[in-house]
Copies of this chain bind each other. A is one copy, B any other.
Amino acid sequence: MGITLDQAETAIKAAKVKALEINTLMNIAVVDAGANLVAFVRMDGAWLGSADISQKKARTARYFDMPTGELGKLSQPGGPLFNIEHANGGLITFPGGLPIKNSAGEVIGAIGVSGSSVENDHTVAQAGVDAIS
């Protein structure tokens, strides 16, 4: 099923370090290759509503093997995938979700981060990805 709990915890730890470094409080979720939750943390004081968003970002990134923000460019009014967010029990298509690949380039899971601006969410997610690449 791809990513291990050890890898997921390594990614989350790095993401937390980055979150503190840029002075944010985040919810961080990691799913495996089957889009099933492997690990999750909500930093003290982080938005409650972001717990679900971070998990949906992680799942969305694995569902379509791309950064969530890429999907969001296509789901705007007039865009080819308008309102795709209604599928799969709710997708989140703004930045903060990233696929995680192994050294062979295969997707082994995904990380989703929510709790600040989408730029910050993306930055923290990237730190998680980088930690296990």
Q: Which residues of A contact B (CB under 8 A)?
A: 1, 4-6, 8-9, 32-44, 47-53, 56, 59-60, 62-65, 72, 75-78, 80-95, 117-118
Tell me the minimal C-beta distance from A34 to chain B in angstroms: 2
How many copies of this chain are found per oligomer?
Answer: 4
A84 CA to B56 CA in the complex, in Å? 10
B6, B9, B48: the one within 8 Å of A62 (CB): B48
A93 CA to B95 CA in the complex, in Å? 19
A35 and B38: CB pair below 8 A? no
A38 CA to B45 CA in the complex, in Å? 11
The contact sample of 19 A-B pairs, CB cut-off 8 A, is: A1-B1, A1-B33, A1-B34, A34-B35, A35-B36, A37-B40, A38-B41, A40-B41, A48-B62, A49-B59, A49-B64, A76-B78, A81-B94, A81-B118, A83-B85, A83-B92, A83-B94, A84-B92, A86-B92
In the complex formed, the residue of B with least CB distance to A4 is B44
B37, B47, B64: the one within 8 Å of A65 (CB): B47
In the complex formed, the residue of B with least CB distance to A79 is B94
B32, B59, B93: the one within 8 Å of A82 (CB): B93
The residues of B that contact A90 with a CB separation of less than 8 Å are: 86-87
The residues of B that contact A49 with a CB separation of less than 8 Å are: 35, 59-60, 62-64, 87-88, 91
